[in-house]
Structure 1
Amino acid sequence: MNLYKYTIFSILLAIFCLPLGCEKGKRHLELANGLTKENKLDEALAEYTKAIEANVNLAEAYYGRGNVYLEQEKLEGAATDFRKAIDINPKYIDAHKKLAETFVKIGAPDDEFQKRFKAIENDPDNPLTYVELGVFYHKLEKDIDAIEQYKKALELDQNNPYIMFNLGVGYLDMGLYEDAENIFKKAIEIDPNYDNAYYNLAVSLHKQGKVDEAVKELNKTLEVNPKYSNAYVVFGLIKLKEKKFEEAIAQYNKAMEIDPDNLDARYQRAIIFALQKRYDDALTENMAVLEKNPKYVNAAYNIGVIYHRTDRLDKAIEWYDKVTKKIDPLYEDAYYNRAQIYSLKGDHSRAYSDFISYSYITKWRTGKDPAVVYKQDEIKEMFLQSVPVLKGQEKDREMELKSN
């Protein structure tokens, strides 16, 4: 019934949109789009508003104004406008994607869950309400719950590539790479220009070791969107695994030419510098990553590893402390590495405490006890042979889903 009323309302809007007003709205929209490209956001905002006043059924104007609000960090306004654009045109894929991006920026305080549940109660036939709840679950890494909500949304709108995309990312996060591959392919069948779907299809193939197929999808990503910088990051990962370091660096450089703030490219480049024993360069790169994003945990961890490898053990402890105390208290490898250093220093109490923390966290994550024995001679021998390597492959997963 609500759907029917909404349809009638939309028709009335179209009827009462006189030709002169509609044309005037489009002129304001074109002007606003030009001002946005010139980064004249306040002027663009005014023109988008004029376009909406002239034609209240112009989805592109709401979408454009939402983008300006998003750029200005006026997140509630952005969410409202993206919703309006979707109400007018439910198949407005870009508006769906921007709305999800806005939700992520807003965050997920407790009362937001109640709002989402209430929205579903009030409008149980609206697939977008389930998507919104799924996005919040996803942000909190509750992947199973997120997948459940995306599936419910897809039952209500079976041919929506945006919903399929979110479900695919949920599968990726769960390590269900074949399921992710299949759902991304379906999204692409419906929307052949969906760059994010091509990219994440490439990621799912890469995770399965289907490198040639992954390369093919990365190339398709760049055909659709030549500015898709993260495609070059994955190209770099492929070269890194082949130990073709200079070719990998060239790919990361391409990514940063397109997007100088691509932290994943800079982070991966730091890994190569460390592997080449260019430790000062690696430290500089990781520091630059943390300057932009202080919560980029693997960059902080790798700084600790570099100091660890170069026998600057007090500095290594300082950085492992930052990881476990300020960024991620469940980052088990930081405890393990710090325990080695305490053991070498003869501080067996702290070493044992860190090994216990490492053991508990590892068992919590994997369900299995780790193969760690607290014996000074064994730890010393292990340290002399090899300090644990950089966590490049661990970062692999987190980096590739960012493009969501």
Structure 2
Amino acid sequence: MTRIFLVLLFISLSGFGLARQNSPKNDFEAALEAIDREDQEAAFFHLENWLKSYPQDALAHWYMGQVYESFPGENTPFALEYYNQAINLNPQLASAYFSRGRIFLQMERFEAAEKDFLTFQNLPKGETNQIFFEKNSTQAGVSGIFTLQGNLSAKVFYHLGLCQMGMENYEKANEYFDQAIEIRPEPDYLTEKSQALLSLDRSNEAESVLITALEIDPDHFLAQERLALIRGKNPEELIEPLNIAVKNKPNEPQVWKKRAYYFLERENWKLAERDLKEALALDNQDAELYLYLGTIASRQQEWAQAEKYYSEGLFLDETNTQIILARGQARYQQSKLEEALADFIQLIGIDPTLPTAYYHRGITLLRMKRNQEACENLQLAANWGMEAAQEVIKKACQD
């Protein structure tokens, strides 16, 4: 599965417009100061106050989307709403297209993401003192700085490559990764290029690229894993760094979670569940842990237990679309059709353009013998590219 590396971007501007200069320190300026000291709650409070008085401020909407992305849990729908509003108010605000493109990429809406990244490329980026701060989701604080004119161009090519990978256009993806690497040879870019090459049956070139990635970062786990697979080695050997991390930091929930994900990818449900429960004992506010535990239960067709885990996750993060979809599927498997339908309706309410939501609502309505409604939903899913919907449309739409 292609890993998608997402960055949180913050921009420092020299001027904030006439309205922002009317007082020594207004809410907008206070929000920027809060962002600089990584106090996102304070930034949210000040931006909310500012937008009440200046609802047409596109840049403030963009900042609010950034703040939502920085919060724990699944806040993608809220961030997306603010990015959409920023673009509606100012179609020339380049940074909003980049931010929205990343969200579309995360949602696997590859064509929409590509369109935004290309729009971003073609728009003027403003003054050279516009600075983006890069934040790594696994680390605290700022992990890098780049400008709109500098390293960000490599990141755009990288994200365009990921879009092409999602659309299975591997030659084009490889070209974009090459452009990113030419600007800045990051291990992540090289590792994703190797996947494009493997998809094109060019394993020797993929091996060479991975060696280069590991020369830059010898600890890059995904590059290590792919190189081991190419060379026919046992990838189980790669668990050793994760074992060492657990041994050295047994009170850190993330190390248990990372090793659990390693087991999940290999369908070792027992060990994955063990590590997830260890992580949960250390941090019971992480909704993603419940998602993974529910996934394990679902894979073993323990639907009632899966539903329970998903419900606990949604208690912590009620708009998490992955968990809502998964719970709806678990309820569907238990023939709890009304409750499953409620989940799929909620999913559509959060993201009205999500094809899988209409597909699942359609097949649920079909089982409830509400064929006309099922037909409408399945046609929407099919129109948005969900091939599975085509298989049941005839049954739902027959007179």
* TM-score normalised over the length of structure 1: 0.50
Quick check: 1:198–1:221 contact (8 Å CA) kept in 2?
no
Tell me which of 317, 330, 344 is aligned to 2:367: 344
Query: Could you tell me which residue of structure 2 aligns to residue 187 of structure 1?
Result: 213
Query: Is 1:228 aligned to residue 255 of structure 2?
Result: yes
Tell me which of 290, 295, 306 is aligned to 1:266: 290
Query: Could you tell me which residue of structure 2 aligns to residue 315 of structure 1?
Result: 339
Q: CA deviation at 1:211?
A: 9.9
Query: Is 1:303 aligned to residue 331 of structure 2?
Result: no
Tell me which of 357, 377, 384 is aligned to 2:380: 357
Quick check: 1:297–1:323 contact (8 Å CA) kept in 2?
yes
Query: Could you tell me which residue of structure 1 aligns to residue 313 of structure 2?
Result: 289
**112-121 or 258-267: bigger deviation:** 112-121
**310-319 or 178-187: bigger deviation:** 178-187
Identity %: 13
Query: Could you tell me which residue of structure 2 aligns to residue 27 of structure 1?
Result: none
1:107-128: CA deviation from partner (whole Å, max 9, x where unpaired): 8665115887545996999751
Task: Tell me the SS of whatever aligns to 1:228.
Answer: helix
Residue type of the partner of 2:392? V
Whole-Å Cα distance in 1 between the matches of residues 378 and 339 of structure 2? 20
Give the RMSD, CA atoms, in angstroms.
5.1
Q: CA deviation at 1:246?
A: 3.0
Residue type of the partner of 1:69? R
Whole-Å Cα distance in 2 between the matches of residues 147 and 73 of structure 1? 40
Report matched runs for 1:114-153 at 5 Å: 118-119=124-125, 127-134=150-157, 151-153=178-180
Task: Tell me the SS of whatever aligns to 1:311.
Answer: coil
Residue type of the partner of 2:322? N
Residue type of the partner of 1:248? A
Query: Could you tell me which residue of structure 1 aligns to residue 61 of structure 2?
Result: none
Query: Is 1:372 aligned to residue 382 of structure 2?
Result: no
Quick check: 2:280–2:289 contact (8 Å CA) kept in 1?
yes
Whole-Å Cα distance in 2 between the matches of residues 224 and 74 of structure 1? 34
Residue type of the partner of 2:259? Y
Query: Is 1:217 aligned to residue 238 of structure 2?
Result: yes
Report matched runs for 1:168-179 at 5 Å: 168-169=191-192, 176=199
Q: CA deviation at 1:326?
A: 1.8
1:150-201: CA deviation from partner (whole Å, max 9, x where unpaired): 54342134xx4xx231453577699959687764543222222x4xx21465
Structure 1 residues 201 and 122: CA distance shift in structure 2, 3 A: same
Matched pairs, number: 274
Q: CA deviation at 1:301?
A: 1.2
Whole-Å Cα distance in 1 between the matches of residues 352 and 325 of structure 2? 10
Q: CA deviation at 1:365?
A: 5.6
Quick check: 1:286–1:299 contact (8 Å CA) kept in 2?
yes
Whole-Å Cα distance in 1 between the matches of residues 316 and 161 of structure 2? 23
Whole-Å Cα distance in 2 between the matches of residues 125 and 66 of structure 1? 22
Quick check: 1:150–1:166 contact (8 Å CA) kept in 2?
yes
Quick check: 1:164–1:183 contact (8 Å CA) kept in 2?
no
Tell me which of 237, 246, 252 is aligned to 2:270: 246
Structure 1 residues 150 and 288: CA distance shift in structure 2, 3 A: farther
Whole-Å Cα distance in 1 between the matches of residues 360 and 183 of structure 2? 49
Whole-Å Cα distance in 2 between the matches of residues 137 and 255 of structure 1? 34
**Any unmatched runs of 5+ in structure 1?**
1-64, 77-100, 379-404
Task: Tell me the SS of whatever aligns to 1:346.
Answer: coil
Whole-Å Cα distance in 1 between the matches of residues 194 and 352 of structure 2? 24
Query: Could you tell me which residue of structure 2 aligns to residue 69 of structure 1?
Result: 37
- If you compute each CA radius of gyration, which structure gives the higher value, 1 or 2? 1
Whole-Å Cα distance in 1 between the matches of residues 276 and 232 of structure 2? 18
Whole-Å Cα distance in 1 between the matches of residues 354 and 221 of structure 2? 33
Query: Is 1:331 aligned to residue 358 of structure 2?
Result: no
**Any unmatched runs of 5+ in structure 2?**
1-32, 45-65, 71-78, 88-92, 98-118, 130-146
Question: Using CA pairs below 8 Å that are at least 6 residues apart, which structure has the higher relative contact order?
Answer: 2
